[in-house]
Amino acid sequence: MNVAAGETQAGETQAGETQAGETQAGETQDDLASLPGLAGVPTVRGGSQLVLHPTREAYIEVVETLCGAGFDVCADLCGVDYLRHMDRALPDGVEPERFEVVVSLLSLGRRERLRLRVQVPEGDPTLPTLFFVHPGSEAMEREAYDMFGIRFDDHPDMTRILMPEDWEGHPLRKDFSVGRVPVQFKDAPGPR
Amino acid sequence: MSTGPTSDAPQIPARPANGQGATDAYVPELTEEHDAEEAINELLVHETAEGSQELGDRNTTPAEEIAIEEGAVLRIPEGLVLDPGNVDVEFGPDETMIINMGPQHPSTHGVLRIMLELEGETVLRSKPIIGYLHTGMEKTGEELTYVQGATNVTRMDYLSPLHNELVFSLAVEELLGLEIPPRATWIRMLMSELNRISSHVMWTATNGMDLASTSMMIYGFREREMVLSFFEKTTGLRMNHNYIRPGGVAADLPDGWEDDVAAIIGTIPGRIDEYDELITGQPIFRERTEGVGVISAELAKAMSATGPILRASGVPWDLRRSMPYLYYDQVDFDVIVGTVGDTFDRYAVRLNEIREACRIVSQIVEKMPAGDYRSQDKKVTPPPRQRIDESMEALIHHFKIFTRGFEAPPGEVYTAIESPRGELGCYMVSDGSNKPYRLHIRGPSFVNLQSLPALLRGGLIADAIAIISSVDPVMGEVDR
């Protein structure tokens, strides 16, 4: 479900395929869709919030455009590893990748929030940093790096934040197994 | 960006030449000393590709990084404009000192470690280093069903456990598209406002202790105990209740709850007035808090700070008012804002929020409707205890809900509520199974903590104690 770009300036092929009327287009969607930086960005409504699916290349530009449109607080940023759920529902034109970075932006003026979901490929898990647009994303990007190994280019301090410095691996990846102590049912010494 | 594995290694400065007599015996050949030094460095500084988490030495850190670490120069929305006049490059390597505060320090409210670069007693740079309490709760959450999940998240912010349960339950209910009966929603509001009172009262207690007012600490704990004994009566536990669950709440309010709540909101406002008298006008307290740790509204927004920090800087942003959840649009209360954004404002905001919470609670008591305290959706809610004795099917149903739980349709949601510390968010991804595929909690303490370097800069160490206290970090939530 793509929102038709307000002007056909980008000449996106997918822009003509669906109509904006298909989604429950609210006011936000209408006036955001007319922003030049957001032309051709697949947009759906997830629950009460708009969800944008920018590409990695357009990511910073989209965030900057939204920042100018009032979404000036980066409320949350986290990674998701879709290793075991690759068949998730995504709008047309968005190729599923293993990792996703989900950014929740907040507009204090409009009292709205929206979400960005950026696909990050497994082979090259990098994304430009949001630090220079939203300095408050610093710790959250470090957490996403620590937990998923997604590197944020030009981040001022791309180090682990929650795990120890010498930790190996990224614990929230789905192929990072949870440590378990095997339960012994047989041959366990009796209580006395 | 790695800070470079070799350049970061602490350089052990050469010993000055005077006083040779004593040191001569210990100094081996020059080359050997070098080897020994390198060996020690290898042992002490365990470098990885990610680089060190710690605050680097001034003489080995590039000026750009110093500017960023100094926080305030810096973290402005227009991007990094480096003003050389704003960077303390004039300090030589020997004039400043990096010391650790914490992780075992009584004023850091748990295991928070802050590295401070000091010039005399003035803080130049600082860096919070966290993770000492990390227990992988988000990973654990992926292994627990939706029914079990609330027991996990309630342990994150241990001073406001009911808010954690609430945001988790709201996320699950949004995934399920589940409607909650009105009484359950009002009970949730009642409990979360009482929890706000207990959390803020606890904060005034610890804040008093940090600022050497030990009587305030005892008083604060006394008031918190009132609320906690009501929680114990209602939920069975003083903390980590697992009371608010997907589908409603675990049990109805106990008989005579109106009297208990009336006793709480009849006592606390009077006590708050006493503390006002004890603390607010006290000259020592005002000296230590006024104008200390000032953060502007722009900077607070840029740093994603929420809760009392943001409101103290003058931004009337309270999710209960701005983006109402539960029935907060049906109660009357004021959003408390400050003007300066200093430590005193953050104190005043919290103190008055206790009063507002009491106001909300008294309205909730009036409006509490009769009805179900949990959803009657059989998929989510186990059958009542009595039915289990008489119906085999009810027993099977009960068993299935507590062993396997229920499935949520695939999708992803982000819900946010106003916890006593700020925006508490929950991002949840479902793949259609009975467990969340991904559970992420946006802890307000975790995010608020990044404004510490900006708040601490230029203050004294004694101010640092007051500022850390005024940010009110709960390390269980920071590290999760």
Could A108 and B317 be called an inter-chain contact, meaning their C-beta atoms sit closer than 8 Å? yes
Could A78 and B1 be called an inter-chain contact, meaning their C-beta atoms sit closer than 8 Å? no
d(CA B305, CA B421): 10
Could B412 and A165 be called an inter-chain contact, meaning their C-beta atoms sit closer than 8 Å? no
pLDDT at B412 over 60: yes
Could A163 and B134 be called an inter-chain contact, meaning their C-beta atoms sit closer than 8 Å? yes
Q: Name the band, by pLDDT with cuts 50, 70 and 90, for residue B282.
A: confident
Question: Is B25 in a helix, a strand, or coil?
Answer: helix
pLDDT given at position B6: 42
Question: Which candidate from B46, B323, B450 shows the least CB-CB separation from A166?
Answer: B46
Could B440 and A115 be called an inter-chain contact, meaning their C-beta atoms sit closer than 8 Å? no
Q: Measured between beta carbons, which residues in chain A are less than 8 angstroms from residue B139?
A: 171-172, 178
Q: Which of B104-113, B253-262, B355-364 has the lowest mean pLDDT?
A: B104-113
Interface size between A and B, measured as CB pairs under 8 A? 142
pLDDT at B3 over 80: no
Helix residue ranges, H only, B177-213: 182-210
B50 near A CB under 8 A: yes
pLDDT, tens digit, for every residue of B142-184?
A: 889 999 999 999 998 889 999 999 999 999 999 998 889 999 9
Question: Which candidate from B53, B143, B411 shows the least CB-CB separation from A165?
Answer: B53
pLDDT given at position B27: 39
Q: Name the band, by pLDDT with cuts 50, 70 and 90, for residue B284.
A: confident
pLDDT at B62 over 70: no
**Cβ count within 10 A of residue B11:** 12
Helix B343-367 and helix B182-210: axis angle, to 10°? 150
Chain B residue nearest residue A177, CA to CA: B139
When pLDDT is averaged across residues A2-29 and rounded to a whole number, the result is 39
**Residue of B2, B301, B440, B450 best to disrupt the A interface, most CBs of A under 10 A:** B440
Chain B residue nearest residue A149, CA to CA: B50
Q: Which of B227-241, B437-451, B452-466 has the lowest mean pLDDT?
A: B452-466
Question: Which candidate from B131, B442, B449 shows the least CB-CB separation from A76?
Answer: B442
pLDDT, tens digit, for every residue of B350-382?
A: 999 999 999 999 999 999 999 888 888 888 888
pLDDT, tens digit, for every residue of B195-238?
A: 999 999 999 998 888 887 888 888 989 889 999 999 999 999 98
CA of A147 vs chain B CAs: smallest distance (Å)? 10
DSSP B48-75: -TT---SPPPGGGS-HHHHHHHTSTTT-
Residue A47 tokens read as 């629950």
pLDDT given at position A184: 65
Could B301 and A72 be called an inter-chain contact, meaning their C-beta atoms sit closer than 8 Å? yes
Could A140 and B447 be called an inter-chain contact, meaning their C-beta atoms sit closer than 8 Å? yes
CA of A64 vs chain B CAs: smallest distance (Å)? 10
**Cβ count within 10 A of residue A110:** 14
Q: Which of residues 402-441 of B touch A (CB under 8 A)?
A: 410-414, 416, 423, 425, 427, 429, 431, 437-438, 440
CA of B118 vs chain A CAs: smallest distance (Å)? 21
Question: Which residues lie below 8 Å from residue B236, measured CB to CB, with a gap of 6+?
Answer: none
When pLDDT is averaged across residues B430-439 and rounded to a whole number, the result is 91
CA of B288 vs chain A CAs: smallest distance (Å)? 27
pLDDT given at position B61: 66
Could B53 and A161 be called an inter-chain contact, meaning their C-beta atoms sit closer than 8 Å? yes
Q: Name the band, by pLDDT with cuts 50, 70 and 90, for residue B269.
A: very high
Question: Which candidate from B68, B130, B450 shows the least CB-CB separation from A136?
Answer: B450
**Residue of B52, B311, B414 best to disrupt the A interface, most CBs of A under 10 A:** B414
**Given the structure tokens 């992780």, which residue do they identify?**
B103
d(CA A97, CA A100): 7
Could B79 and A133 be called an inter-chain contact, meaning their C-beta atoms sit closer than 8 Å? yes
* A173: Cα separation from own chain's centroid: 15
B316 near A CB under 8 A: no
Q: Which of residues 322-341 of B touch A (CB under 8 A)?
A: 322-323
Could B442 and A75 be called an inter-chain contact, meaning their C-beta atoms sit closer than 8 Å? yes
**Residue of A50, A66, A73, A99 best to disrupt the B interface, most CBs of B under 10 A:** A73
pLDDT given at position B2: 41
Q: Which of residues 116-155 of B touch A (CB under 8 A)?
A: 130-131, 134, 136, 138-139, 143
Q: Which of A17-21, B114-118, B375-379, B426-430 has the lowest mean pLDDT?
A: A17-21
pLDDT, tens digit, for every residue of A110-138?
A: 888 889 999 999 888 899 988 888 888 88
Question: Is B431 in a helix, a strand, or coil?
Answer: coil
pLDDT given at position B420: 92
Could B174 and A47 be called an inter-chain contact, meaning their C-beta atoms sit closer than 8 Å? yes
Chain A residue nearest residue B76, CA to CA: A135
Q: Measured between beta carbons, which residues in chain A are less than 8 angstroms from residue B133?
A: none
pLDDT given at position B69: 55
Q: Name the band, by pLDDT with cuts 50, 70 and 90, for residue B55.
A: confident
Question: Which candidate from B1, B411, B414 shows the least CB-CB separation from A76?
Answer: B414
Question: What is the value of pTM for the model shown?
Answer: 0.81
pLDDT given at position B189: 93
Could B450 and A164 be called an inter-chain contact, meaning their C-beta atoms sit closer than 8 Å? no
Nearest Cα residue to A148 out of A72, A79, A55, A58: A79
Could A78 and B427 be called an inter-chain contact, meaning their C-beta atoms sit closer than 8 Å? yes
When pLDDT is averaged across residues B45-57 and rounded to a whole number, the result is 58
- Virtual CA dihedral for B56, B62, B68, B71, nearest 10 degrees? 50
Residue B244 tokens read as 């608010």
Q: Which of A29-43, A176-190, B266-280 has the lowest mean pLDDT?
A: A176-190
pLDDT given at position B91: 62
Q: Name the band, by pLDDT with cuts 50, 70 and 90, for residue B127.
A: confident
Q: Measured between beta carbons, which residues in chain A are less than 8 angstroms from residue B479?
A: 162
Question: Is B20 in a helix, a strand, or coil?
Answer: helix
pLDDT given at position B81: 41
All structural domains of chain A, each given as residue ranges with its CATH number in brackets, are 47-85+93-176 (3.30.460.80)
DSSP A75-91: EEEEEEE-TT-TT----
Chain B residue nearest residue A83, CA to CA: B437
**Cβ count within 10 A of residue B236:** 12
When pLDDT is averaged across residues A32-59 and rounded to a whole number, the result is 80
More confident residue, B153 or B74: B153
CB B343 within 8 A of CB B468: no
d(CA B326, CA B324): 7
Query: Which run of H or of E encompasses B296?
Result: none
DSSP3 helix / strand / coil % (chain B, rounded to 5): 50, 10, 40
CA of B159 vs chain A CAs: smallest distance (Å)? 21
Quote the percentage of chain B above a pLDDT of 90: 33
Q: What is the mean pLDDT of chain B?
A: 81
More confident residue, A32 or B478: B478
pLDDT given at position A4: 38
When pLDDT is averaged across residues B135-142 and rounded to a whole number, the result is 89
Q: Measured between beta carbons, which residues in chain A are less than 8 angstroms from residue B305?
A: 136
Residue B265 tokens read as 């909101």
